[in-house]
Homo-oligomer: A and B are copies of this chain.
Amino acid sequence: MSLKPADSAFLDRVASHVGAGVLSEPEPRYLEEPRGRFAGQAAAVAKPRTVEEVAALVRLCNEASVPVVPYGGGTGLVGGQVKGEGVVPLVISLERMRAIRDVFPEENVIIAEAGAVLEAVQAAAQEADRLFPLSLAAQGSCQIGGNLATNAGGVNVLRYGNARDLCLGLEAVLPSGEIWHGLSRLRKDNTGYDLKNLLIGAEGSLGIITAASLKLFARPVGEGTALMAVPSVAAALDLLAITRDHVGEAVSAFELIHREGLDFLAETMPEVRQPFAEKPDWCVLIDLGLGAGQEPQSVLEAIFATALERDLVLDGLIAQSETQRGEFWSVRESIPLANRKIGAILSNDISIPISRIAEFVVEGHTALAKLGPLRINAFGHLGDGNLHYNVYPPKGENRNNYNHLIDDVKGIVNGLVHKYNGSISAEHGIGRMKTGELERYGDPVKLATMRAIKSALDPKGIMNPGVVLKA
Known: A187-B384, A189-B425. A355 touches B104 (CB 8 A): yes
Q: How far apart are the CA atoms of A442 and B187 in the complex, in Å?
A: 17
Contact of A457 among B164, B165, B246, B449 (CB under 8 A): B449
**Nearest CB of B to A240, in Å:** 9
Assess whether A191 is in contact with B248, with CB atoms less than 8 Å apart. no
| Cβ-defined contact, A385 with B190, below 8 A | no
Which segment of A200-208, A265-273, A274-282 sits at the interface?
A: A200-208
- State whether the Cβ of A182 lies closer than 8 Å to any Cβ in chain B: yes
Is A36 an interface residue when CB atoms closer than 8 A count as contact? no
A164–B194 contact, CB under 8 A?
A: yes
Q: Which of B192, B201, B383, B421 contacts A442 (CB 8 A)?
A: B192
What are 28 of the A-B contact pairs (CB < 8 Å)? A104-B354, A106-B237, A180-B449, A181-B445, A184-B423, A186-B421, A187-B386, A188-B385, A189-B425, A190-B201, A190-B428, A191-B423, A191-B424, A191-B430, A192-B438, A192-B447, A192-B450, A192-B468, A193-B453, A193-B468, A218-B241, A218-B248, A220-B248, A221-B245, A246-B292, A449-B457, A453-B456, A453-B457
What B residues does A164 contact at CB under 8 A?
194
A351 on the interface (CB 8 Å rule)? yes
**Assembled-state Cα–Cα distance A186/B430 (Å):** 16
Cross-chain contact B190 with A218 (CB below 8 angstroms): no
CA distance A188 to B384 in the complex (A): 7
Given contacts A192-B201, A192-B442, A248-B250, 20 further A-B contacts (CB under 8 A): A104-B353, A104-B354, A107-B385, A153-B190, A157-B187, A162-B188, A182-B443, A188-B351, A188-B381, A190-B427, A190-B430, A192-B446, A194-B197, A194-B198, A218-B245, A246-B291, A246-B292, A247-B291, A248-B291, A452-B456
Least CB separation from A218: chain B residue:
B244
Which B-chain residue is minimally distant from A356 (CB atoms)? B107
Residue of B with least CB distance to A298? B293
A242 CB to closest chain B CB (Å) equals: 10
Residue of B157, B188, B446, B452 near A180 (CB, 8 A) is B446
Q: Which residue of B lies closest to A299 (CB)?
A: B293
Least CB distance from A341 to B in Å reads: 27
Encode A159-175 as 1/0 by CB contact (under 8 A) with B: 10010110000000010
Q: Which residues of A contact B (CB under 8 A)?
A: 104, 106-109, 150-151, 153, 157, 159, 162, 164-165, 174, 178-182, 184-195, 197-198, 200-202, 206, 218, 220-221, 237, 241, 244-250, 289-294, 299, 302, 351-355, 381, 383-386, 421-430, 434, 438, 442-443, 445-450, 452-457, 468
